[in-house]
Structure 1
Amino acid sequence: MTLTADAPSGVTPTEQDLPRIISVDDHILEPRTLWQEELPAADRDLAPRVVREKVSLHFSGGHYGFTRDDPDGHWCDLWLYDDLVLPTGLLHAAAGVPPEEQRNIPAIYEDFREATYDQKARLVDMDTNHVEVSINYPNTFPRFAGQGFAERADKELSLRCIQIYNDWMIDVWCGGDGRGRLIPLTLVPLWDPRLAAEEMRRCAAKGSHAIAFSENPSKLGFPSLYSGDWDVLWDACTETDATVSMHIGSSSTMPATSPDAPLATTMALSSQNAEGSLCDWVFSGTLSRFDDLKIAFAESQIGWMPYLLDRMDIVARESATGGVELDRPPSEIVKGRVWGCVFDDQHGLNSRDAVGLEHILFETDYPHTDGTWPESRAVAHRLCATAGMDAVECHAFLRGNAIRCYGLDRFGIAD
């Protein structure tokens, strides 16, 4: 076993002895016919639907683009929803595709593993990957916090579409054989905090106790955390013991340095969104006002946390400079309240004492290009062994922390 200079030593279990994984960030390809089947005929022309066309994709100036009805393109499942046109790409769900074949090209659902959209096949892929439990974010047009619904003009239709999605997520995707293994994640209408609270409570009554929220709603044109407008939603989350989950990119923006910077620059800077979001949650006083509220950042990694918390503590002490008054230092406010996710952050695990091991969750990011299927257990073992983590620490990292963060005991998931 090789240890880095700053990694404490410990006896790491063998790969075969690691506990079954709870992945708090995976994704599901939404059913192509869901809204067409559930909505009345009068709404179907504007509702989400899929058409199949030949499409070509391109990336330039920091943005993806596409051309429809391109005779030289690839067959593509194209999502249409009101004024939205969104092509499905191979990179939406590249699990099982050899790395050298993972390209930004159009795709149809049949190009993907069946497990990306079929529950029975997903459970098999989870077993293959040593994963017992999975939480799934949307993967196509809804985007990670449901902002695809929030951007449409007809908000009544958008709300019905969100409710259809949530009912499908709770009753179908997470029901039947998936109960206790696939954990529901509720979308809320981001354009109206009171409606969001009502939908949160409705879904909690059906058994969903986590919501997907934006890391920065202000970027979407909605109230910021500093406004206090979202307090009605945090009341609902507190009452129902629901965890607020924020995926990177859920503000529909990603860090960039210049219009001509390659995608690699954005990918390397991806944790910046979570850093800004945590500042908002603390300096807005939201985490102080709602002592029982729990939040989690998906795909954010965690190596950035020690520096940011130190810096936030300094800024909070210098009230003349920082302009905030808090009841405790930020590093105290977040304890036991804020979690970050790791899929490959060796520095973060090596620094776990500074981060706080109890704040660290594991994800497989199935079925994305960053995902570790079907080698997630091997990846987890490499991370844990290199960091010198013992059996107790490995258990907390791979499942115990997730059970506490998301209250998974209510689903019958034992520690």
Structure 2
Amino acid sequence: MDTQDGTFPLIISVDDHTVEPPDVWQSRLPKKYLDTGPRIVRAPLREMSFLGGRFKPVMGKPGEDGPIGDWWIYEDLHRPLTRLDTAVGYSRDEIRLEVITYEQMRAGSYDVPQRLADMDVNHVQSALCFPTFPRFCGQTFTEAKDRELALLCVRAYNDWMVEEWCGPLAQGRQIPLALIPLWDARLAAAEVRRNAARGVRAVAFSEIPPHLGLPSVHTDDWDPFLAACDETGTVVAMHIGSSSRMPSTSADAPPAVGSTITFANCCFSMVDWLMSGKFERFPDLKVMYAEGQIGWIPYILERADVVWEENRAWGGVADKVTRPPSELFAEHVYGCFFDDAFGLKNLDAIGLGNVLYETDYPHSDSTWPKSREVGEAQMGHLAPDAVERIVRGNAIDLLGLTADGLWAGPGTAS
């Protein structure tokens, strides 16, 4: 792959984030829902905490003292925009848990041309973006009282994602990621097919559905959804935190504890999938773990193979997992990283074809604007063709992009 200077390939990031503009739902919902559907108000913050993996903001009343921020209001939910939603451009010591307005965030967080400009600065060609207000797999709508409205909100988000965020202004450089109504697997299957028909090849899902009060992947409940993904070539994309429960050790553990062990839910989730039998029932199904890093994967595969070999008779998997979990991983699972020198040193134990690169723009962990430099430093021991596969080739194949690394647009279903 020729790049600007013939060295490090242009990056295809499989985990960035969009901060939804204020009109995403107000411009798409029926009039009768505009007062209860998602909308932005400007209001003061009364108090806010983030301990034990739980985010707890309290909105003040108009006229009260307190920092002013923009808040998403939806039914009884009050959710502020925070500096953690969009931290790029600030020094690490300036990134605190505080409310902000749209004017105080980097415009690339929500504006397509500005996002492309920030991607150019970071040597990024294309990017797949997870949501902010809906949360990483649409939990916000799953928790809502009015399911009719929630379904409309899911569809409105997907329409905005395809038609605007990934629309003509994006020039094929934004890769669409759809949401599903998690509360109904048949409705979810229909939404997968609706979006696959217009070229969408990825859908967000929860790493650990039971944490959301939903069935586990060991049941048959998800089969209609999984069948739709299998048939359409739609990748099941799971982001850390998509179970609404970040790993932690106690109710008073500081965020630094959870931030250090964010990979844990991905680890638990991957074992679930490998022992579920779903990959043998749905042979074309692919799953990816966004922002989970990759250094932990070799040991988990080793342990899973040992358990499968020695304990499968009493372990409840003999009748549904007929091949070593490591073989299933190689064919179905993709790990995503943005800063994992240890994982790259153990790439042979993971698999060159199972690793994807990301930048996590605009979050506080993001390597922007130095994702290229980080990649060069950590992949310097790899052959150029291996670097090309990690940085872009695997993403092109997995997400059905053009040979040039772009999304071809609506109507490009495989």
TM bracket, shorter-chain basis: over 0.9
- Residues 336/319 of structure 1: CA separation in 2 closer, same or farther (3 Å cut): closer
Q: Write the distance in 1 (CA, Å) between the matches of 2:374 and 2:6.
A: 12
Show the counterpart of 1:224.
216
- Residues 246/49 of structure 1: CA separation in 2 closer, same or farther (3 Å cut): same
Q: Write the distance in 1 (CA, Å) between the matches of 2:267 and 2:93.
A: 32
Q: Equivalences for 1:322-361 in 2 at 5 Å?
A: 322-325=315-318, 326-361=321-356
Q: Give the 3-state SS of the residue equivalent to 1:308 in structure 2.
A: helix
1:363 correspondence with 2:358: yes
Show the counterpart of 2:229.
237
- Residues 15/376 of structure 1: CA separation in 2 closer, same or farther (3 Å cut): farther
Q: Write the distance in 2 (CA, Å) between the matches of 1:50 and 1:406.
A: 33
Show the counterpart of 1:319.
312
What amino acid sits opposite 1:302 in the alignment?
I
Show the counterpart of 2:287.
295
Q: Equivalences for 1:13-412 in 2 at 5 Å?
A: 17-59=7-49, 61-62=51-52, 63-69=54-60, 71-139=64-132, 141-317=133-309, 318-325=311-318, 326-385=321-380, 388-409=381-402
Q: Write the distance in 1 (CA, Å) between the matches of 2:84 and 2:330.
A: 36
The unaligned stretches of length 5 or more in structure 2 are 408-414
Contact 1:53/1:75 (8 A) holds in 2? yes
Deviating more after overlay: 97-106 vs 344-353 = 97-106
Q: Write the distance in 2 (CA, Å) between the matches of 1:46 and 1:100.
A: 37
Once the two structures are superposed, residues 329-353 of structure 1 have per-residue CA deviations (whole angstroms, 9 ceiling, x without a partner) of: 0001111321011111111000000
How far has the Cα of 1:254 moved from its partner?
A: 1.3
Show the counterpart of 1:9.
none
Show the counterpart of 2:410.
none
How far has the Cα of 1:178 moved from its partner?
A: 1.2
How far has the Cα of 1:69 moved from its partner?
A: 2.4
The unaligned stretches of length 5 or more in structure 1 are 1-12
Q: Give the 3-state SS of the residue equivalent to 1:36 in structure 2.
A: coil
Q: Write the distance in 1 (CA, Å) between the matches of 2:199 and 2:354.
A: 25
Deviating more after overlay: 252-261 vs 146-155 = 252-261
Q: Write the distance in 2 (CA, Å) between the matches of 1:177 and 1:132.
A: 14
Q: Write the distance in 1 (CA, Å) between the matches of 2:125 and 2:20.
A: 22
Q: Write the distance in 2 (CA, Å) between the matches of 1:277 and 1:410.
A: 31
Once the two structures are superposed, residues 1-58 of structure 1 have per-residue CA deviations (whole angstroms, 9 ceiling, x without a partner) of: xxxxxxxxxxxx9986101000000000112122112222211111001110111443
Q: Write the distance in 2 (CA, Å) between the matches of 1:275 and 1:160.
A: 33
How far has the Cα of 1:68 moved from its partner?
A: 2.4
Q: CA RMSD in A?
A: 1.8
How far has the Cα of 1:138 moved from its partner?
A: 0.2
Once the two structures are superposed, residues 167-204 of structure 1 have per-residue CA deviations (whole angstroms, 9 ceiling, x without a partner) of: 11001110103142100001000000000000000011
Q: Write the distance in 1 (CA, Å) between the matches of 2:135 and 2:237.
A: 13
Paired residue total: 399
- Residues 18/61 of structure 1: CA separation in 2 closer, same or farther (3 Å cut): closer
Q: Write the distance in 2 (CA, Å) between the matches of 1:320 and 1:286.
A: 18
Contact 1:339/1:405 (8 A) holds in 2? no
Q: Write the distance in 2 (CA, Å) between the matches of 1:16 and 1:150.
A: 46
How far has the Cα of 1:314 moved from its partner?
A: 1.1
- Residues 179/261 of structure 1: CA separation in 2 closer, same or farther (3 Å cut): same
- Residues 169/320 of structure 1: CA separation in 2 closer, same or farther (3 Å cut): same
- Residues 403/412 of structure 1: CA separation in 2 closer, same or farther (3 Å cut): closer
How far has the Cα of 1:323 moved from its partner?
A: 2.2
Contact 2:80/2:99 (8 A) holds in 1? yes
Q: Write the distance in 1 (CA, Å) between the matches of 2:55 and 2:261.
A: 18
Contact 1:60/1:260 (8 A) holds in 2? no
Deviating more after overlay: 14-23 vs 174-183 = 14-23
User: What TM-score results when the alignment is normalised by the length of structure 1?
Assistant: 0.93
Contact 1:56/1:105 (8 A) holds in 2? no
What amino acid sits opposite 1:253 in the alignment?
R
Q: Write the distance in 2 (CA, Å) between the matches of 1:194 and 1:410.
A: 33
Q: Give the 3-state SS of the residue equivalent to 1:225 in structure 2.
A: coil
Q: Write the distance in 1 (CA, Å) between the matches of 2:196 and 2:59.
A: 41
Q: Write the distance in 2 (CA, Å) between the matches of 1:15 and 1:102.
A: 33
What amino acid sits opposite 1:68 in the alignment?
M
Show the counterpart of 1:5.
none
Contact 1:180/1:411 (8 A) holds in 2? no
Contact 1:145/1:213 (8 A) holds in 2? yes
Q: Give the 3-state SS of the residue equivalent to 1:135 in structure 2.
A: strand
Deviating more after overlay: 320-329 vs 403-412 = 403-412
Deviating more after overlay: 54-63 vs 26-35 = 54-63
Q: Give the 3-state SS of the residue equivalent to 2:145 in structure 1.
A: coil
Contact 1:25/1:363 (8 A) holds in 2? yes
Q: Write the distance in 1 (CA, Å) between the matches of 2:50 and 2:77.
A: 20
